[in-house]
Chain A
Amino acid sequence: MVPYLFLGFAAMLLATALMVILHKHPVTSALFLVLSFSSLAGIYLLLQAEFVGMVQIIVYAGAIMVLFLFVIMYLNLPHDVEKGAQIAVRRGIGWMVGALMLLFAGLLAKKGWVAGPAATAPADLSGGNAAAIGRVLYSRFLFPFEITSILLLVAMVGAIVMAKGRPASPEGEGE
């Protein structure tokens, strides 16, 4: 059962991820990205990481993509229409990046897939994996966790400062 579900979710993930970059309409692309996040959440659930799966949906599919969609709709972006020269430049960059990726893939394939060292001890899963993640976050990964939260705080302050705009000049102009 589980392998078939995995194949289904993985196929959906790949197909929707491809549609994100192949579709011309920005709103439809964003919707396919939502679908691909959801299929990723499905894979997490199959790995018995139900906390991560649910958070994946809450944070990415539910919050971040709604904001993306909000901005796309607000700007009312038209279909992707660009001039020939721009397309040529983009295509060139795309080919270069693609070639690099292929090169890396070839190198990896040549070297053979090497698994990392196995986990020394199975994680303590008492109380569900939400509790396990909490324990690890507040002990072993406390520093990265706090640094990330400071980063988010800085971004938030920056967003507020930018949203406020420049203060009105003394002559009463501006705004």
Chain B
Amino acid sequence: MAALMQNEAFQVALWAMVKVGIILGVMLGVVSYLIYAERKICGHIQARTGPNRVGPLGLLQPIADVGKLLFKEEFIPAGANKVVFHIAPILAVFPAIVTFSVIPMGPPPMFVVTDINVGLLLFLAMSSLGVYAITLGGWSSNNKYALLGGLRSSAQMISYELAMGLSTIPVLLRTGTLSLSGIVDAQAGQLKAFDTVLPLPNWGIFHWYLFLPFFIFLICSFAETNRAPFDLPEAEGELVAGFHTEYSSMKWALFFLGEYMNMIVICSIMVTLFLGGWHGPGVDKFAPLGLVWFLTKLFALLFFFIWVRWTYPRLRYDQLMGFGWKVLLPASVVNVMIAAVWLYWRANA
């Protein structure tokens, strides 16, 4: 045993397992309180108070919710494809958890599970696998509303994935690496414009050619997480509840968990690519401050997501597709070209 503990590979694996355990536990807590925050914020936006009965300020509401979901009867519709019906909720959660392994939440090596040199590609791969959960959940329910929701979501997510992937390319052009830690490292220090130091941090969003990609990525992330104003797959006015119409109990809860985890993941990626990751004042003196800065930026973005959801109405389906293909995609392609020409000119000037 002692010899095993001395083994370097074993130590790395052990630490990774510990970090995975911590992330999993913390994520479950964060998601349940994110739902609480969403209900509170939504309440205040609609001039009511939101949940306030269970515990002080309603703070025990998430626990009551989970308890209710655990004890609810599980219903599987007749004619459902049973195996796929069981697999779909699992698929909703696993891509989000896998992506968390590459997000640098603070200065390495303490606050990142693993730093692979294709971290951004892992995120894109996992977000493209996320489509399966909704598509399969909708199809296996043997319900026409669920099927329509599933078809809508696969069309929507494939369309917006393209613009999202293209909007990350200017970031890669600037930093020259696919590793998320490398991308964060490239955003350290102060912003410079033609050798004059500006009073701004060197974050991606403050470079003029990364401003539009940030907004494209933001819009696409609403579509990728099926949040309003792009929540067509679960448009309750048209499709009952969309792809999860037939789900109940913990299976439904897994879909819910997946949606919120995806939201956290995509916001973390946005922080990493455009908002300087864990960089902030004082990090070089005290490393754990990096985690605080990361979480601050992350929760600001999450608040923005919730704010948008309760402010804007849902788009019509043809508007959604038209916007994705005719506006976002050409805009991101043009931006890639402009950024490439600019960076080439700067490098050779």
Residues of A within 8 A of B (CB): 27-28, 31, 34, 50-51, 54-55, 57-58, 61-63, 66-67, 69-70, 73-74, 127-128, 130
Q: Are B84 and A27 in contact (CB under 8 A)?
A: yes
Interface presence of B117 (CB below 8 A): yes
- Residues of the B chain whose Cβ atoms lie less than 8 Å from the Cβ of A61: 125, 128-129
Q: How far is the CA of A97 from the CA of B154 in the complex (A)?
A: 36
Identify which of residues 253-311 in chain B touch chain A, using a CB-to-CB cut-off of 8 Å. Answer: none
30 residue pairs A–B, Cβ–Cβ below 8 Å: A27-B81, A27-B139, A31-B136, A50-B117, A51-B118, A51-B178, A54-B122, A54-B124, A55-B121, A57-B128, A57-B129, A58-B124, A61-B125, A62-B161, A63-B161, A66-B128, A66-B135, A66-B154, A67-B158, A69-B136, A70-B154, A73-B135, A73-B139, A127-B177, A128-B117, A128-B177, A128-B178, A128-B179, A130-B118, A130-B178
Return the 8 tightest CB-CB contacts between A and B, nearest first: A62-B128, A54-B121, A57-B125, A128-B117, A58-B125, A50-B118, A54-B118, A73-B139
Q: Please determine whether B118 and A73 come into contact, CB atoms closer than 8 angstroms.
A: no
Which B residues lie at the A interface, using CB under 8 A? 81, 83-84, 116-118, 121-122, 124-125, 128-129, 131-132, 135-136, 139, 147, 150-151, 154-155, 158, 161, 176-179
- Max count, chain B CB within 10 A of own CB: residue among A34, A50, A62: A62
Given contacts A27-B84, A50-B116, A128-B178, contact A70 B155 (CB under 8 A): yes
Q: Is the CB of A34 within 8 A of B132?
A: yes
Q: Which of B116, B129, B179 has the most CB of A within 10 A?
A: B129
Q: Which residue of A lies closest to B119 (CB)?
A: A54
B330 to chain A, nearest CB (A): 14
Contact partner of A63 (CB less than 8 A), chosen from B81, B121, B128, is: B128
Residue on A nearest B81 in the bound complex, by CB: A27
Residues of B within 8 A of A55 (CB): 121
Q: A66-B158, A74-B151 are in contact. Are A58 and B128 (CB under 8 A)?
A: yes
Instruction: Check if A54 sits within 8 Å of B132, measured CB to CB.
Output: no
Cβ–Cβ < 8 Å partners of A70 in chain B: 135, 151, 154-155
Chain B: minimal CB distance from A104 (Å): 35
CA separation between A91 and B40, bound complex, in Å?
63
Instruction: Report the Cα distance A50→B179, complex, angstroms.
Output: 12
Considering only CB atoms, which chain A residue lies closest to B157 in the complex?
Answer: A66
CB neighbours (8 Å) of B116 from chain A are 50
Q: Which residues on B sit within 8 Å (CB–CB) of A31?
A: 84, 136
Chain A residue nearest to B139 in the complex (CB): A73
From A50, A61, A66, A74, name the one whose CB has the most chain B CB atoms within 10 angstroms.
Answer: A66
Instruction: List, in ascending order, chain B residues with CB within 8 A of A63's CB.
Output: 128, 158, 161
Contacts of B161 in A (CB 8 A): 62-63
Residues of A with C-beta under 8 A to B177? 127-128
User: Which of A51, A54, A130 is the most central at the interface, judged by chain B CB atoms within 10 Å of its CB?
Assistant: A54
Residue in chain A with minimal CB distance to B122? A54
| Residues of the B chain whose Cβ atoms lie less than 8 Å from the Cβ of A66 | 128, 131-132, 135, 154, 158
Q: What residues of chain A lie closer than 8 Å to B131, measured between beta carbons?
A: 62, 66
Contact between B151 and A73 (Cβ–Cβ < 8 Å)?
Answer: yes
